Amino acid sequence: MNLKKELSDFAQQMSQQAPSEILQTMGEEIGKLSQSNIVENALSKGAKAPDFTLENSDGKQVSLSGLLEKGNVVLSFNRGNWCPFCNLEFKALQESISEIKNAGANLVVISPQLPIFSRELKQKNGFEYDILYDKGNEVAKQFRIAFALPEPLRPIHDAFGMDIPAHNGDTGFELPLAATYVIHKNGTIAYAYLNANWMERAEPEEFLVALQ
Residue pLDDT, tens place only, 20-68: 999 999 999 999 999 999 999 999 999 999 999 999 999 999 999 999 9
- pLDDT at residue number 212: 80
How far is 66 from 83, CA to CA, in rounded Å?
A: 29
Distance of alpha carbon 66 from alpha carbon 12, whole angstroms: 41
- The yes-or-no verdict on residue 137 having pLDDT over 80 is yes
Cα–Cα distances in Å, from 199 out to 6, 18, 57, 74, 194?
Answer: 10, 15, 25, 20, 12
CB 78 within 8 A of CB 109: yes
One CATH from 3.40.30.10, 3.90.1170.50, 3.40.228.10, 3.30.360.10 for 3-10+17-211: 3.40.30.10
Separation between Cα atoms, residue 205 and residue 208, nearest integer Å:
5
Q: Mind listing the pLDDT tens digit for each residue in 70-118? A: 999 999 999 999 999 999 999 999 999 999 999 999 999 999 999 999 9
Could you tell me the end-to-end alpha-carbon distance of the chain, in angstroms, rounded to an integer? 20
